[in-house]
Amino acid sequence: MKVLDLQCEHGHPFEAWFASEQAFQEQSQNGMLQCPMCGSPSVVKKLSAPRLNLSGARQDSAPEPSDSNAQAASLASAWLALSQRLVANTQDVGERFAEEARKMHYGEIEERAIRGKTTLNEAQALQDEGIAVLPIALPEHLNKPLH
Contact characters 72-111, Zn ion, x per CB under 5 A: ----------------------------------------
Question: Judged by CB, which is closer to Zn ion: 10, or 144?
Answer: 10
Rounded Cα–Cα distance for residues 57 and 145 (Å): 49
Annotate 65-85 with b (16+ C-beta within 10 A) or e (fewer): eeeeeeeeeeeeeeeeeebee
Kindly indicate which of the ranges 35-43, 89-97, 107-115, 137-145 contains the residues binding Zn ion, using the contact rule CB under 5 A: 35-43
The distance from CA 55 to its chain's CA centroid, rounded to whole angstroms, is 22
Among residues 3, 19, 32, 38, the one that binds Zn ion under rule CB under 5 A: 38
CB of 32 to Zn ion, least distance (A): 15
- Which of the residues 6 through 25 are near Zn ion (CB under 5 A)? 8, 10, 12
Q: Interface with Zn ion includes 37 (CB under 5 A)?
A: yes
Beta-sheet pairing, 2-8 with 114-116: unpaired
Q: Interface with Zn ion includes 33 (CB under 5 A)?
A: no
Q: Where are the alpha helices (DSSP H) in the chain?
A: 21-29, 49-59, 65-89, 97-105, 120-128
